[in-house]
Structure 1
Amino acid sequence: MLRDQVGGQGEIEIAQSERALHALEGRTDPFQVRRQNCPMPTTQAESAPQKALRKMGLTRDIDLALHIPLRYEDETRIVKLKDARDGDTVQIEAAVTDCEVQYRGRRQLVVTVDDGTDTCVLRFFTFYPSQQKSLAVGTKLRIRGELKGGFLGFQMVHPSWKPAGGELATALTPVYSTVAGLPQAYLRKAVASGLARAELGDTIPPDVPKRPHWTLKEALHFLHHPTPDVSMATLEDRSHPAWQRLKAEELLAQQLSQLQSKRARDKLKAPRLKAKKGGLHEQLLAALPFSLTAAQRRVSEEIARDVARDVPMHRLLQGDVGSGKTIVAALAAAVAIDAGWQCALMAPTEILAEQHFRKLIGWLEPLLAPRGQRVAWLTGSQRKKERGEMLALIASGEAALVVGTHAVIQEQVQFAKLGLAVIDEQHRFGVEQRLALRGKMLEPGHEPHMLMMSATPIPRTLAMSYYADLDVSTIDELPPGRTPVVTKLVADSRRDEIVERIRAQVAEGRQVYWVCPLIEESEALDLTNATATHEQLSEALPGVMVGLLHSRMPVPEKKAVMSLFVGGQMGVLVSTTVIEVGVDVPNASLMVIEHAERFGLSQLHQLRGRVGRGAAASACVLLYSTGDHGKLGDTAKARLKAMQETSDGFEIARRDLEIRGPGEFLGSRQSGAPLLRFADLMTDTHLLDWARQLAPVMLDRHPEYAERHIGRWLGGKSEYLKA
């Protein structure tokens, strides 16, 4: 059995892997003597590799079978050193001509081997005495590793090796993603065992059109052990028929589970929330100091139609930054309250929740007060007395609308009659949190209507897949009066010019944001932190109030800083990304984002949306650093270019999906939920279309196939898709 390459790992991790490997191969564990003196627990403890498998979610045979290799090693042939080149990963057979421990900066085992055509030096920075003995002069070895060619000849660092001779492999050797404590040798055996035991019968009905040619069993066996003649390009770009079968199955499982969840939800009951003529929502519309846009009216009508039915609404309201989603939510809340039910609005941060609270208090409190109702505020930072008062108001029903953070879903919060739940920036919440809010309606077989809001527009292909169980409403126009924001890319070397620009803006009575990615020094990232920037700007702008805001500040301090900035007394606010969403200061006309190359595209777009909210000309400066190499990476360059070229949130979202892929794009929507590990929504739309068409047919005509398919791919995780 080949020893696995361990170069680059920490010594403790290497030792753990070595011990696991020794145990797996039945060899003496060098730590065994020490352990014999320790009392053993009465029950058999889980081994480190078993814990690691569980940590990776590889608990079922099918999980192991679906753990596809990251890459492959070719152990099907022996290469002569004379035919090899620098950088090649090769397998050679050679005899040891020298073996010694050297001390060159650090202790290392240096072994010289000769295959008859050339020599190669093997270096081991971590090794056991038993290894040194096994590599004695004269020993013939089969060695595999990456060749590094230099002035003194070839060398390999921590290659894998075993005694020479024996049969060559007939298939490529898989290399799997793993974690500490789980060596490749153990994982290969575990996967092979799982693959042999897994039930891989066909779960796609035989009469399905465009049925994949390969069976799942054929596809998995091939992907774990491809034949040496396979085109590596088709494995790497996942266009091989084996990959196509796997991706088709994965997309089908997702579409089936989401459609199943939607149908199950459609059988539940929700309160009928019918808008009344001259009711609260019409009073609110009449009291507003602005008119709704056509898009706001359209989505409000879609929501009103949904909540008037006794089937739970499950709608995603998406709209670009500043498109006016909060007033749409307020109108939906007014309909619910008028029908005699409560509404809850949950936001991911206290700043965003407070922003909503201030707006909703202003709009709704004057209309609710004559009815003996009010808007309640609930966060984790509240004092015990205030919190108790709010809980009592919610339980009695006097609080018609409850606004807050995740505190809204805590166990002690009991609603009298929750009819509508609104979740803002829903992708920032985990699945369990969204399910907990829906569980606040206590009647069995009932759940509240659910409105989820997002300022990160979802591209159509992504919505079709990840949000197949949602109805989507889109606000596709901005309210009048929003000023276009000019976006400029500026190198960090021109920092002084930016400070002069800030001085001019503040002199005109405008306000400025300066956003930093870190709040304290990091050895890994040489970035100017928010605290240092705050000190520098305070010094450079005498007479200007410069504030500092970051996530580790106590809540009262955050509130005090935001109050000064919102009130206009503070000219410049230095902040981390806690101001990403929800901060609405129309007088702010300049946004400086430091180390913009470190931010994600949707995050940059959200931050840019904090300016341009008033009539003044506004700008967003993306201050970038090229680092030691003197140039930006391709990904960072693509992000900054996209920001400069467009301010359309949907185009930004499309490009973000291209750059980052769907998994990262969706954030914690997926927390605990099954990810698309194999399919790519940018290139596999034909498979997604196939899965979307097949899912309802399978549920209606072949329910037993559908259940087996969902069980195989999702196990117990399908519950999460109900969020």
Structure 2
Amino acid sequence: MKAASPFSFPVSPALAAKLAKLGLTRDADLVLHLPLRWEDETRLTPIRDLLPGATAQVQAVVTDASVTYRPRRMLAVTVEDAGGVLGIRFLNFYPSHLKLFQPGESFRFNGEVRGGFLGLEMVHPRFAKADDATPLPAQLTPVYPTTAGLGQATLRRAVERALVAPIADTLPAEWLAELGLPGLEASIRLLHQPPLDCALAELESRQHPAWQRLAFDELLAQQLSLATARRQRKSRPTLPLPPRQQLTTAFARALPFELTAAQARAWREISADLGEPHPMRRLLQGDVGSGKTVVAALACLQAIENGFQAAFMAPTEILAEQHYRKLAPRLSELGVRCAWVSGSQRRAERTAAWQAIAAGEADLAFGTHALFQEAGSFQRLGLAVVDEQHRFGVE
């Protein structure tokens, strides 16, 4: 019994597997699988008008085809039209190609023109059998992101079949009018099938209104997702960690500099969030040397002065140790007990560190992701700081 196609049209299991490698498992995925670029196959260039370095499409008749072995094995094809001769070379080819390029057969070749020893040539151009009766495309040809074994022609046909169904808009008509945005269906269809009069430069630079519409939807979806996650977090109760102005104030006063306006603003927001009766999740973003570590240390101290422990994680042992050596001396002066967990430590040292953390004798633990992957546990963890989170490879 054949398995049902995951698409609204028949797809072989082999093709479905290749599409799945690209994350395309339903019609909607194909609809939103947008081109990387577009090629103009709507016009033919006479061979006499070709220029080296330009990409062009020619229609010509084969006059000769043979396999040569110098300087390497290749298929050399000579074609001509009414105004000139062009060389075609294939460095990788099948025996069937030699049989295909029979003298007198007419083809269209599309590729980059190069200057060769015997005149102009194309190396590995795209080609198709065609003559004067073969119509030219009426629109620009999309080139999609693909995977091994999945050709552009096959992918284009799949996308075209997925585009048969109407596409419902995600925004009310009055919003579109107010924001000056085009409709979703018109935008998607234009990107897949740009008309001849469409500005190719605007498409490739992503400045076209169709791109702007999809960018708006992507940003809107991201904001809605963040708002939903924020609402879910607020529905989960947790113990608040209100500002006590003890360790945090002492630490700030001991610094050899005053917090910048941006640091102070970020710290006020984080401090207020820690005092809420629901979990906090914040991204602190800034340039290198802008003072993110100081703000993170203040957050750890607010958790500690409420009787909780804090974990300070970094993606590498070197960076984690750097944080430890930089912060531990200052924090120990305030009575904060720090622990350092590293895979390079001797077993006895690492065991002692974990024992202190588990017994609540360490207020702040520094380390890599091993802080949450090893067998150890925290007695009362209240805050986790993940430095350079993008390098952990996790959400």
Identify the match of residue 336 of structure 1 among 303, 307, 311: 303
The CA distance in 1 between the partners of 2:361 and 2:311, in whole Å, is: 13
**In the TM superposition, what is the alpha-carbon distance from 1:378 to its structure 2 partner?**
1.7
**In the TM superposition, what is the alpha-carbon distance from 1:265 to its structure 2 partner?**
2.2
Three-state SS of the structure 1 residue aligned to 2:173 is coil
**In the TM superposition, what is the alpha-carbon distance from 1:120 to its structure 2 partner?**
1.1
Partner of 1:307: 274
The CA distance in 1 between the partners of 2:98 and 2:107, in whole Å, is: 13
Residues 285-296 of structure 1 correspond to what in structure 2 (within 5 A)?
Answer: 288=254, 290=256, 292-293=258-259, 295=261
Identify the match of residue 403 of structure 1 among 347, 366, 377: 366
The CA distance in 1 between the partners of 2:255 and 2:46, in whole Å, is: 81
Q: How has the CA–CA distance of structure 1 residues 169 and 347 changed in structure 2, closer, same or farther, with 3 Å as cutoff?
A: same
**In the TM superposition, what is the alpha-carbon distance from 1:291 to its structure 2 partner?**
5.7
Partner of 1:189: 157
Q: How has the CA–CA distance of structure 1 residues 247 and 359 changed in structure 2, closer, same or farther, with 3 Å as cutoff?
A: closer
Identify the match of residue 340 of structure 2 among 356, 377, 380: 377
Structure 1 vs Structure 2: percent identity of aligned residues? 49
Q: How has the CA–CA distance of structure 1 residues 141 and 310 changed in structure 2, closer, same or farther, with 3 Å as cutoff?
A: same
The CA distance in 1 between the partners of 2:291 and 2:40, in whole Å, is: 57
The CA distance in 1 between the partners of 2:298 and 2:83, in whole Å, is: 81
Identify the match of residue 389 of structure 2 among 414, 426, 444: 426
Give yes or no for contact 1:212–1:245 (8 Å, CA) kept in 2: no
**In the TM superposition, what is the alpha-carbon distance from 1:137 to its structure 2 partner?**
1.4
Q: Could you give the per-residue CA deviations for residues 205-252 of structure 1, whole angstroms, max 9, x where no partner exists?
A: 233252455322222122111122222222223233322222222222
Match status 1:118 vs 2:84: yes
The CA distance in 2 between the partners of 1:213 and 1:301, in whole Å, is: 38
Q: Could you give the per-residue CA deviations for residues 332-376 of structure 1, whole angstroms, max 9, x where no partner exists?
A: 32321221211111112222211222233323335447xxxx322
Partner of 1:363: 330
Give yes or no for contact 1:346–1:406 (8 Å, CA) kept in 2: yes
Structure 2: runs of 5+ lacking an equivalent: 1-11
Q: Which moved further from structure 2: 57-66 or 102-111?
A: 57-66
The CA distance in 2 between the partners of 1:81 and 1:75, in whole Å, is: 15
1:409 alignment partner AA: F
Identify the match of residue 320 of structure 2 among 349, 353, 367: 353
The CA distance in 2 between the partners of 1:195 and 1:345, in whole Å, is: 49
Q: How has the CA–CA distance of structure 1 residues 143 and 358 changed in structure 2, closer, same or farther, with 3 Å as cutoff?
A: closer
Partner of 1:55: 21
1:65 alignment partner AA: V
Residues 591-602 of structure 1 correspond to what in structure 2 (within 5 A)?
Answer: none
Give yes or no for contact 2:41–2:140 (8 Å, CA) kept in 1: yes
The CA distance in 2 between the partners of 1:206 and 1:240, in whole Å, is: 20
Partner of 2:72: 106
The CA distance in 2 between the partners of 1:246 and 1:130, in whole Å, is: 43
Three-state SS of the structure 2 residue aligned to 1:72 is strand
Partner of 1:600: none
Q: How has the CA–CA distance of structure 1 residues 104 and 241 changed in structure 2, closer, same or farther, with 3 Å as cutoff?
A: same
Give yes or no for contact 2:16–2:25 (8 Å, CA) kept in 1: no
Partner of 1:415: 378
Q: How has the CA–CA distance of structure 1 residues 82 and 321 changed in structure 2, closer, same or farther, with 3 Å as cutoff?
A: closer
Q: Could you give the per-residue CA deviations for residues 56-110 of structure 1, whole angstroms, max 9, x where no partner exists?
A: 3333322322222222222323332233333333332222111111111111111
The CA distance in 2 between the partners of 1:299 and 1:223, in whole Å, is: 41
Match status 1:390 vs 2:353: yes
2:120 alignment partner AA: F
The CA distance in 2 between the partners of 1:424 and 1:178, in whole Å, is: 35
The CA distance in 2 between the partners of 1:240 and 1:147, in whole Å, is: 29
Match status 1:152 vs 2:118: yes
Q: Could you give the per-residue CA deviations for residues 442-486 of structure 1, whole angstroms, max 9, x where no partner exists?
A: xxxxxxxxxxxxxxxxxxxxxxxxxxxxxxxxxxxxxxxxxxxxx
Match status 1:204 vs 2:167: no
Partner of 1:227: 195
Identify the match of residue 130 of structure 2 among 164, 185, 206: 164
The CA distance in 2 between the partners of 1:285 and 1:239, in whole Å, is: 47
Partner of 1:87: 53
Q: Could you give the per-residue CA deviations for residues 418-452 of structure 1, whole angstroms, max 9, x where no partner exists?
A: 211222233433333xxxxxxxxxxxxxxxxxxxx
Give yes or no for contact 2:303–2:309 (8 Å, CA) kept in 1: yes
Q: How has the CA–CA distance of structure 1 residues 381 and 73 changed in structure 2, closer, same or farther, with 3 Å as cutoff?
A: same
Give yes or no for contact 1:113–1:121 (8 Å, CA) kept in 2: yes
Give yes or no for contact 1:270–1:419 (8 Å, CA) kept in 2: no
**In the TM superposition, what is the alpha-carbon distance from 1:297 to its structure 2 partner?**
5.5
Partner of 1:491: none
Q: How has the CA–CA distance of structure 1 residues 300 and 173 changed in structure 2, closer, same or farther, with 3 Å as cutoff?
A: closer
The CA distance in 1 between the partners of 2:95 and 2:116, in whole Å, is: 29
1:358 alignment partner AA: R
Q: Could you give the per-residue CA deviations for residues 113-146 of structure 1, whole angstroms, max 9, x where no partner exists?
A: 1212211111111111111101111222232222
Partner of 1:66: 32
**In the TM superposition, what is the alpha-carbon distance from 1:201 to its structure 2 partner?**
0.8
The CA distance in 1 between the partners of 2:193 and 2:393, in whole Å, is: 37
Q: How has the CA–CA distance of structure 1 residues 168 and 313 changed in structure 2, closer, same or farther, with 3 Å as cutoff?
A: same
Partner of 1:24: none
Q: Could you give the per-residue CA deviations for residues 473-528 of structure 1, whole angstroms, max 9, x where no partner exists?
A: xxxxxxxxxxxxxxxxxxxxxxxxxxxxxxxxxxxxxxxxxxxxxxxxxxxxxxxx
1:74 alignment partner AA: D
Q: Which moved further from structure 2: 421-430 or 224-233?
A: 421-430
Q: How has the CA–CA distance of structure 1 residues 149 and 358 changed in structure 2, closer, same or farther, with 3 Å as cutoff?
A: closer
Q: Could you give the per-residue CA deviations for residues 574-627 of structure 1, whole angstroms, max 9, x where no partner exists?
A: xxxxxxxxxxxxxxxxxxxxxxxxxxxxxxxxxxxxxxxxxxxxxxxxxxxxxx
Give yes or no for contact 2:89–2:124 (8 Å, CA) kept in 1: yes
**In the TM superposition, what is the alpha-carbon distance from 1:330 to its structure 2 partner?**
3.2
Give yes or no for contact 2:88–2:123 (8 Å, CA) kept in 1: yes
Give yes or no for contact 1:280–1:334 (8 Å, CA) kept in 2: yes
Q: How has the CA–CA distance of structure 1 residues 363 and 78 changed in structure 2, closer, same or farther, with 3 Å as cutoff?
A: closer
Give yes or no for contact 1:90–1:145 (8 Å, CA) kept in 2: yes
TM-score after normalising by structure 1: 0.48
Three-state SS of the structure 2 residue aligned to 1:196 is coil
TM-score after normalising by structure 2: 0.84
Q: Could you give the per-residue CA deviations for residues 23-56 of structure 1, whole angstroms, max 9, x where no partner exists?
A: xxxxxxxxxxxxxxxxxxxxxx964x65553333
Q: Which runs of 4+ in 1 moved over 6 A?
A: none
Q: How has the CA–CA distance of structure 1 residues 105 and 422 changed in structure 2, closer, same or farther, with 3 Å as cutoff?
A: same
Give yes or no for contact 2:170–2:184 (8 Å, CA) kept in 1: no
Three-state SS of the structure 1 residue aligned to 2:69 is strand
The CA distance in 1 between the partners of 2:198 and 2:65, in whole Å, is: 38
Match status 1:267 vs 2:230: no
Instruction: Return the structure number with greater helix share.
Output: 1
Q: Could you give the per-residue CA deviations for residues 178-221 of structure 1, whole angstroms, max 9, x where no partner exists?
A: 33333222222233233336x72111123325245532222212
CA RMSD of aligned residues (A): 2.9
Partner of 1:180: 148
Three-state SS of the structure 1 residue aligned to 2:363 is strand
The CA distance in 1 between the partners of 2:238 and 2:126, in whole Å, is: 62
